[in-house]
Chain A
């Protein structure tokens, strides 16, 4: 059941990524906004990956859990964006 709940949240992340892609496809301004948002997210993602020990102690989770969360988020964004771009 724990795997199901993680899988559902992962699918939710994928769909959210596709939704952002859909929002970006509506208008050039929204595309720019989403591009800035994506850039910000990637910067934060990279900082979290580099400062994993500090961030894990700040969030009070283990380093391995934080790394798993970051990788799952990256995979969800990649899959969601890929599905939207390929459709």
Chain B
């Protein structure tokens, strides 16, 4: 198609210039020859122009197609990058959220271990604090106050009184729960 266009363009220029310059004016039919060649030159030039315009439009369409494909590819890459980023973000959120689950699982595991150790532990009467607990019980039955028990049985008076109170409560809770 391009070859045809170039040939027509060259023919148009040749048909335009050659009869006007090279044709001998003494020949009788030179005027009609000039007219014919000029008409043919116009036809050739217009045809070549139409072909070139068609080609230019096709090239433009191809460029638009190429740009659309490029934009599509860029969009696809951007989409995949976005999806990848979202996946990584979700993974990161899962990783950040997982320590809570681990703590819960660890707590459950520790509870299981603790209850098992309680079962495996020696009987209440063999516990080293059990005699103290018995003394505390006797004192409470005798109507002794908590302060007296802490100071005289647990020997935690003065500055250690608050710790002694906590220890008393712990002992009571521990042996009363086991007694149940």
Residues of A within 8 A of B (CB): 1-2, 4-5, 7-9, 11-12, 14-16, 18-19, 22-23, 25-26, 83-84, 87
Q: Mark B6-37, 1 if CB is under 8 A from A, else 0.
A: 00110011001100110000000001001100
* Cross-chain contact of A12 among B5, B35, B46, B56 (Cβ < 8 A): B46
B136 within 8 A of A: no
Residues of B within 8 A of A (CB): 5, 8-9, 12-13, 16-17, 20-21, 31, 34-35, 38-39, 41-42, 45-46, 48-50, 52-53, 55-56, 59
Q: What's the count of A-B pairs with C-beta under 8 Å?
A: 69
Q: Chain A nearest CB: distance from B64 CB in Å?
A: 14
In the complex, what distance in Å separates the CA atom of A19 from the CA atom of B15? 12
In the complex, what distance in Å separates the CA atom of A2 from the CA atom of B45? 14
Q: Chain A nearest CB: distance from B16 CB in Å?
A: 5
In the complex, what distance in Å separates the CA atom of A2 from the CA atom of B53? 7
Determine the chain B residues whose CB is within 8 A of the CB of A19 once the complex forms: 35, 38-39, 42
Q: Chain B nearest CB: distance from A28 CB in Å?
A: 15
Q: Chain B nearest CB: distance from A16 CB in Å?
A: 6
6 CB contacts below 8 A, A to B, read A2-B56, A5-B55, A8-B52, A22-B34, A22-B38, A83-B20
Q: Contacts A8-B12, A11-B9, A18-B38 given; indicate if A1 touches B55 (C-beta within 8 A).
A: yes
Residue of B nearest to A26 (CB): B31
